[in-house]
Amino acid sequence: MDKGGVVREMFDRIARRYDLTNSVMTAGIDASWRRKAIDVLDPAVDARLLDLCCGTGVMTRDLASRTPNGHVIGVDFSPVMLEVARAKNSKSNIEFVQADALHLPFENESFDGATMGFSMRNLVDVAEGLREIRRVLRPGASFVNLEISKPPNLVWRKMFYLHFYGVVPLLGRIVGGDAAAYRYLPQSLVNFPDADRLAGMFAAAGFEHARYIRLLGGIVTIHSGMRPASVAVADSGRLEQAGVA
């Protein structure tokens, strides 16, 4: 099985206890981080939005509350995550679609904004994922990514790593019921780019105003970038050369 398939099966296994395990591991702060990410996106009340790698749909439902006259599509490749998401959903302006974030079944320039929460580390190819997100955004629309990161302060980073690589696998075994999955999840941060490099990858994928804010001393970052409203001719050539047009 390829890496994507292994990751999908792992999320299938932990889906039913995912929300509870998350709340225990973050002492419930994760909910406020998702709301902050949606503040950064600042969607219009009638926007058509995409929540990528939506899992159990926590962020999807928050987005839908912020766009009562709009429409939100939650995408995930784990059928069990989507089963939980659909069971928890009571909003009429949400739709859940099973798909791979690297190959979205949507037309070019069809969304007014997109989010991704705690998932980018799992993508087999982050650069490809960013280009695919840019493809489905309308010119002028933004993508906001909420993800665990690497705190710049060495002491704080060490303390965080003690929790992340020590306590999280333990809690994952006890609360999440799957030791292997919660050993993998922290490991997925090891090769993930730090905040500056990730912002650079946003820019390389063709996002304008690529920037980030750090939360909790950089344990979590919110990256954002906008698909340019209009691309100058010279820029368009450069983007084509970079394979992002």
Ligand X SMILES: C[S@@+](CC[C@H](N)C(=O)[O-])C[C@H]1O[C@@H](n2cnc3c(N)ncnc32)[C@H](O)[C@@H]1O
Task: Please list every residue from 107 through 126 that binds ligand X, using CB under 6 A.
Answer: 117-119, 122-123
Residue written as token pair 């929460």? 117
Closest CB 15 distance from ligand X, rounded Å: 7
> Binding mask 157-186 vs ligand X (x if CB under 6 A, - otherwise)?
------------------------------
**DSSP assignment of 100-118, as one string?**
-TTS-SS-TT-EEEEEEES
Residues in the chain: 245
> How far is it, in rounded angstroms, from Cα 6 to Cα 67?
34
Closest CB 242 distance from ligand X, rounded Å: 22
Q: Which residues contact 1 (CB under 8 A, 6 or more apart)?
A: 9
Closest CB 100 distance from ligand X, rounded Å: 4
- Assess contact for 74 and 64: CB atoms under 8 A: no
Tokens for 9, please give them. 């099966």
Closest CB 147 distance from ligand X, rounded Å: 10
**55, 70, 151, 176: residue in contact with ligand X (rule CB under 6 A):** 55
**38, 49, 64, 81: residue in contact with ligand X (rule CB under 6 A):** 81
Measured from the CB atom, the residue of 76 and 112 that comes closer to ligand X is 76
**11, 164, 192, 212: residue in contact with ligand X (rule CB under 6 A):** 11
**DSSP assignment of 31-77, as one string?**
HHHHHHHHHHH---TT-EEEEET-TTSHHHHHHHHH-TTSEEEEEES
> How far is it, in rounded angstroms, from Cα 52 to Cα 234?
31
Does 54 interact with ligand X (rule: CB under 6 A)?
A: yes
Measured from the CB atom, the residue of 88 and 158 that comes closer to ligand X is 88
Measured from the CB atom, the residue of 93 and 188 that comes closer to ligand X is 188
Number of residues this chain uses to bind ligand X (CB under 6 A): 21
Does 53 interact with ligand X (rule: CB under 6 A)?
A: yes
Task: Please list every residue from 84 through 103 that binds ligand X, using CB under 6 A.
Answer: 100-102
Residue written as token pair 């998401």? 85
Does 78 interact with ligand X (rule: CB under 6 A)?
A: yes
Strand 137-148's sheet: what is its strand order?
94-98, 71-76, 48-52, 111-117, 137-148, 220-226, 208-215
Closest CB 55 distance from ligand X, rounded Å: 2
Nearest residue relative to ligand X (C-beta): 55
* Binding stretches for ligand X (CB under 6 A): 4, 7-8, 11, 53-55, 58-59, 76-78, 81, 100-102, 117-119, 122-123
